[in-house]
């Protein structure tokens, strides 16, 4: 199905028949993607004495409890409340869900023993394009990302100068296939989080960061329409399901 929409005074033809899901599924497994030193997610039936809430155990329903951390166990979207003393909710501050996005692929650079994404790389990839969202895919891009155990591995991260550049480009929504835009162990400086949300100035409450996405290799770099779907949690972050749609014209 092709839909024609008007977006920022532009008419766009969107292919709604082929959505591209760039989220990671959450599984109750030690092979589920994991970060930040927590155990794997758990999905377990409710129990009441000898009664177990699964059809296979004689109940008429399946009725599971789910234990997980949105930051550690899969694709999640967060707001500035992730790093502020005052609690802000992603459900309260993300009020629009469709945006013009640019998908870029970056080969991280080495800097002082770390793997990083620099301002220069982002500049080269997006040039003069004006976008609401940026989707960053890092290479190598293998399915290992779906099961990666990131704790104590010092993953790739975004340099502060790159986050400042994205803010100055007025990009509101940053999506990346890493557990964080910041270095795993940085003495809680959170340089890129703070820079992107502008916590030292006029805070960008409507800006979001989505981490632990997975962009298949079949998805070409370029411009897409993106739908950032979140679970309506009153929390700084919520599990999310960003969907890309190809633009025909």
Measured between alpha carbons, how far is 2 from 95 in angstroms, rounded to an integer? 25
For the chain, the average pLDDT equals 96
179-238 confidence digits (pLDDT tens): 999 999 999 999 999 999 999 999 999 999 999 999 999 999 999 999 999 999 999 999
Measured between alpha carbons, how far is 41 from 186 in angstroms, rounded to an integer? 26
52 in a domain, yes or no?
no
What pLDDT sits at residue 10? 82
What pLDDT sits at residue 35? 98
31 in a domain, yes or no?
no
What pLDDT sits at residue 72? 98
Q: Rounded to two decimals, what is the model's pTM?
A: 0.96
Task: Give the model's confidence band at 73: pLDDT under 50 very low, under 70 low, under 90 confident, else very high.
Answer: very high
124-157 confidence digits (pLDDT tens): 999 999 999 999 999 999 999 999 999 999 999 9
What pLDDT sits at residue 6? 83
Of 173, 231, 175, 233, the closest CA to residue 207 belongs to 173
Tell me how many domains the chain contains. Answer: 1
SS3 call for 194: helix
Task: Give the model's confidence band at 106: pLDDT under 50 very low, under 70 low, under 90 confident, else very high.
Answer: very high
What pLDDT sits at residue 1? 85
189 in a domain, yes or no?
yes
120 in a domain, yes or no?
yes
13 in a domain, yes or no?
yes
Domain that holds residue 10: 2-25+70-246
Of 78, 82, 102, 87, the closest CA to residue 221 belongs to 102
Beta-bridge mates of residue 115: 110
Measured between alpha carbons, how far is 154 from 185 in angstroms, rounded to an integer? 7
37 in a domain, yes or no?
no
2-24 confidence digits (pLDDT tens): 888 888 888 889 999 999 999 99
What pLDDT sits at residue 7? 83
What pLDDT sits at residue 128? 92
131 in a domain, yes or no?
yes
For the packed helices 119-126 and 160-168, what is the interaxial angle rounded to 10 degrees?
Answer: 40
Q: What percent of the chain has pLDDT over 70?
A: 100
Residue 207's CATH number: 3.50.30.50
61 in a domain, yes or no?
no
What pLDDT sits at residue 116? 98
User: Is pLDDT of 249 > 80?
Assistant: no
Task: Give the model's confidence band at 111: pLDDT under 50 very low, under 70 low, under 90 confident, else very high.
Answer: very high
């Amino acid at each position: 199905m092709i839909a024609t929409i008007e977006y920022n005074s532009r008419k766009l033809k969107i292919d709604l028949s082929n959505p591209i899901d760039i989220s990671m599924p959450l599984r109750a497994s030690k092979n589920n993607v994991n970060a930040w030193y927590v155990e794997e997610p758990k999905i377990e039936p409710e129990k009441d004495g000898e009664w177990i809430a699964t059809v296979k155990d004689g109940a008429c329903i399946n009725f599971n409890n789910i234990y997980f951390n949105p930051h550690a166990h899969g694709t999640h979207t967060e707001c500035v409340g992730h790093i502020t003393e005052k609690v802000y909710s992603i459900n309260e501050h993300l009020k629009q869900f469709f945006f013009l996005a640019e998908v870029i692929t970056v080969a991280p650079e080495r800097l002082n023993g770390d793997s990083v994404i620099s301002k220069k790389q982002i500049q080269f990839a997006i040039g003069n394009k004006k976008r609401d969202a940026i989707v960053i895919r890092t290479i190598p891009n293998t399915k290992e990302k779906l099961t990666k155990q990131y704790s104590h591995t010092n993953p790739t991260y975004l340099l502060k100068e790159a986050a400042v550049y994205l803010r100055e480009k007025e990009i509101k929504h940053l999506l990346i296939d890493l557990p964080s835009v910041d270095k795993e162990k940085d003495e809680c400086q959170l340089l890129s989080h703070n820079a992107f949300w502008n916590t030292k100035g006029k805070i960008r409450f409507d800006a979001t960061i989505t981490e632990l996405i997975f962009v298949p290799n079949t998805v070409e770099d370029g411009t897409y329409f993106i739908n950032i779907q979140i679970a309506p949690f009153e929390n700084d972050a919520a599990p999310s399901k960003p969907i890309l749609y190809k633009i025909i014209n």
